[in-house]
Amino acid sequence: MVFELASAQRRLGADVEIWTVDTTRGGKTEIHGGLVIRYFNPDYALGYVRSASLIDALDALPKDVVLHAHNTFHPLNHDVAVAARRLGLRHFFHPHGALDPILFAGWSLKSVKKRLYHHFIGRPDLNRATGVFALTPLEAEQLAELGVSGTVHVVPNGITPVAPATAEAIAAFCSGHRIESSAKVILFIGRIMPKKKLEDIIVAFATLRVDFPELLLVIAGNVAQDSAYHRRLVALAIGLGCADQIRWLGFLDEQAKPAALASAAVFVHASASEGMALAILEAMSAGLPIVVSKGCYMREAGAAGALLECAQGPEALAISLRQVLDRGPLATRLSENARAYAAKEHDWSRIAARTLEIYSK
């Protein structure tokens, strides 16, 4: 997202660079499509990554520079805030959904650490910044609930439209993953982790197969990210008697993704918490009918008729998926609306222009 936004800003004439830390490319400067990316050597202190060379570079910036940080819960985010205040630079933060209150709930070590960091470091930095970007009106509301009182600008994620797949590519993809030509595919693309609620998708799938025996559930994502969670999902599918109708594809690269989307009848996400998943936006740009849970935070797209938004849980998910799989006019309408909505609301040029306008105010 950072690269795409910066590239779109550069195409509109902005002088923009990406600064980041990298253990292997530190000290190097690369140019990708005309966009300058500067890599700084990380320094490790108390187990956290910082970069003295990046901080020194910040200190040397002229007064008319605007800083836009995307490093929520990262020490570099605080370094940007401190340097910007010291130098009087305009600076903005982009949490990307990482400050969803649901992620602060409970008494796990991770939740407690997040609450402490936000209370003592994150929130003060956000409130003293020039502005904060939220992906949706709901995220703006969530930031307010967490005590963020500074100026919040709602700007969604952008998307590079998915290129159409050729018939040959689709056929090769399906044969390589045991997807029969007669199958009706429910597709998930994303990270394999508990907050994605893949168990809800599997239970809904098992329910739907009673009436749609040709259904296949295709899950694309790195199962090694949380192997214990993956094992639980496989055991659930075995217990429900639908394991043989699930295809685990692993990570899909950008070459395989168009064929995966083109092979699907419907795209599904059931997350309990989501900033704004690029996988959903890609499915929209490909013109797929889409069903998402309310935790995916796509209520604006739902209100525009670009997807179906349902309550959390397998029952609601199955009801909404059934409406699409029945192949009535709803599926056609969702497909058309999804592509049009993605082109209008998630165009990178439009989003880049909006951010540049906000910087200049």
Q: Is the confidence at residue 226, as pLDDT, over 70?
A: yes
Checking if the pLDDT of 330 tops 70, the result is yes
- Residue 143's Cβ-side half-sphere holds a number of Cα atoms within 13 Å equal to 30
Tokens of 277: 């998943």
pLDDT of residue 44: 81
Q: Please report which confidence band the pLDDT of residue 205 belongs to, taking 50, 70 and 90 as the band edges.
A: very high
- Whether residue 242 is predicted with pLDDT greater than 70 in this model: the reply is yes
Higher pLDDT, 88 or 327: 88
Please state, in angstroms and rounded to a whole number, the distance separating the CA atoms of residues 37 and 28: 8
How much is the average pLDDT of 55-59?
93
pLDDT at residue 46, rounded to an integer: 65
State the DSSP string of 79-113.
HHHHHHHHHT-EEEE--TTTT-GGGG-SS-HHHHH
Using an 8 Å Cβ cutoff, are 5 and 355 in contact?
yes
Average pLDDT, the chain: 93
Name every residue whose Cβ is closer than 8 Å to that of residue 132 and which is 6 or more positions away in sequence. Answer: 92, 93, 94, 95, 126, 143, 148, 150, 151, 152, 153
Question: Domain 167-345 maps to which CATH number in 3.40.470.10, 3.40.50.1360, 3.50.50.60, 3.40.50.2000?
Answer: 3.40.50.2000
* pLDDT above 90 for 1: no
Write down the pTM of the prediction: 0.87
pLDDT of residue 344 exceeding 90, the answer is yes
> In terms of Cα–Cα distance, which of 278, 304, 339 is closest to 135?
278
Q: From CA 92, how far away is CA 116, in angstroms rounded?
A: 22
β-bridge pairing 48-50 and 43-45: antiparallel
Give the pLDDT of residue 26: 87
- Look at residue 218 and tell me whether its pLDDT is greater than 80: yes
Q: What is the structure's pLDDT at 227?
A: 94
Residue 327 has pLDDT above 80, yes or no: no
Radius of gyration of the chain (CA): 22
pLDDT at 91 over 70: yes
Q: Give the pLDDT mean for 269-282.
A: 90
Write the CB contacts of 243 (distance below 8 Å, at least 6 apart in sequence). 234, 237
**pLDDT classification of 336: cutoffs 50, 70, 90:** very high
Q: What average pLDDT does the segment 115-133 reach? A: 94
The encoded tokens of residue 235 equal 């055991």
pLDDT, position 100: 86
Mean pLDDT value of segment 332-356 = 95
What would the mean pLDDT of 3-10 be, rounded to a whole number? 96
How high is the pLDDT of residue 82? 94
Structure confidence at residue 191 as a pLDDT band (50, 70, 90): very high
- Per-residue pLDDT, 241: 96
Highest average pLDDT, of 103-117, 166-180, 237-251, comes from: 237-251
pLDDT at 350: 95
Mean per-residue pLDDT, 77-89? 93
Q: Report percent pLDDT > 70 for the chain.
A: 99
Percent residues over pLDDT 90 in the chain: 78
Kindly indicate the confidence band of residue 194, based on its pLDDT and cuts at 50, 70 and 90: very high
Among the CATH numbers 3.90.400.10, 3.30.9.10, 3.40.50.2000, 3.40.50.720, which is that of 2-158+347-360? 3.40.50.2000
Q: Where in the chain is CATH 3.40.50.2000?
A: 2-158+347-360, 167-345
